[in-house]
Amino acid sequence: MDHDALFHRLHPALYRYLYRLTGDADTADDIAQETFVRLLRQSIPEEEVRPWLFTVATNLVRDGVRKAGRRQRLLAAENFLPAAVPGPDEETDRLERVEAVRRALARIPLRDRQLLLMREEGFTYEEMARAAGVAPGSVGTLLGRALKRFMQVYQAQEGTDGPRR
């Protein structure tokens, strides 16, 4: 297996998935790295690497919720995050909408997020079912409900009709 090629091919998608899943770039970066390091310790058939990576990464997110919570508090306490830069109204509006998406994702269950985001990455129902530990026949129903839940939460908190083009 050409690990170098695999890294180049799969790392951007895994980072994007983790950033969407956790809403935190540092956590996404750390977990993506950790997942690839774990991949090197395993012997996985190449065709199974992609679902394996996403499953392991999701498990690391799940296992690290408490630790991540502590870290977030530390970051907040030490003003790690740069202060918001005042800008034109358009930019402020965009940042507000980004924050609304982040909050809406954070407020739906992790399994809903996992399924929605794996679907966005083009995984099959079979692969999603294995990763989430659910029956393949239930994935469509779970996805439909997760989609509606996300839209309800997003619209409820913003009082808008969702993201604009």
- Residues in contact with another protein by CB under 8 A are 3-4, 7-8, 11-12, 15-16, 19-20, 25-26, 28-30, 32-33, 36-37, 39-41, 71, 74-75, 78, 80-82, 94-95, 97-98, 101-102, 104-105, 116-117, 119-120, 124-125, 137-145, 147-148, 150-151, 154, 162-165
Least distance to another protein, CB of residue 62, Å: 20
Q: In Å, what is the CA distance from 92 to each residue of 19, 82, 98, 145?
A: 21, 15, 10, 31
CB of 131 to another protein, least distance (A): 15
The Cα 126–Cα 136 span in angstroms is 5
Rounded least distance, CB 142 to another protein, Å: 8
Q: Which residue lies nearer to another protein by CB, 65 or 80?
A: 80
